[in-house]
Amino acid sequence: MIQEPEGQDATGDPRRRIPRTDDLLAHPQVARASGTLSDRVVRDLVHAAQDRARAGEISPEQVLDEVLTALGERCASSLRPVLNATGVIVHTNLGRAPLSTAARAALQDAAGCTDVEFDLATGARARRGAGARAALLAACPAAEDALVVTNGAAALVLATTALAGTGEVVLGRGEMIEIGAGFRLPDLITSTGAVLHEVGTTNRTHLADYEQALGPNTGCVLRIHTSNYRIIGFTSEVPLAQLAGPCRTAGIPLVADLGSGLLAPEPRLPAEPDADTALRAGADLVLASGDKLLGGPQAGILLGSSELISRLARHPLARAVRADKLTLAALEATVTGPAPPVLTALRLDAEELRERTVRLAERTGGRLVEHDGRVGGGGGAEVPLPGWAVALEPELAGELRTGEHAVVATVREDACLLDLRCISEEEDDTVIAAVEAARAHVASPRPEPPR
pLDDT digits (tens, 9 = 90+) for 20-53: 999 999 999 998 888 888 999 999 999 999 999 9
pLDDT, tens digit, 9 for 90 and up, residues 268-288: 999 999 999 999 999 999 999
- Bigger pLDDT: 231 vs 417: 417
pLDDT, tens digit, 9 for 90 and up, residues 376-393: 987 887 789 999 999 999
On the question of pLDDT at 9 being above 80, the answer is no
**pTM for the whole structure:** 0.88
Query: Sorting pLDDT into bands at 50, 70 and 90, what band is 74?
Result: confident
Q: What is the CATH code for 82-91+344-443?
A: 3.90.1150.180
Tell me the backbone φ, ψ of residue 147, rounded to 5 degrees.
-145, 140
Q: What is the pLDDT of residue 446?
A: 58
When the pLDDT of each residue in the chain is averaged and rounded to a whole number, the result is: 92
Topology annotation, domain 100-338: Aspartate Aminotransferase; domain 2 (3.40.640)
On the question of pLDDT at 451 being above 60, the answer is no
Q: CA-CA distance, 66 to 86, in Å (whole number)? A: 35
203-226 residues labelled b (16+ CB within 10 A) or e (exposed): eebbeebbbebbeeebbbbbbbbb
Query: Sorting pLDDT into bands at 50, 70 and 90, what band is 448?
Result: low
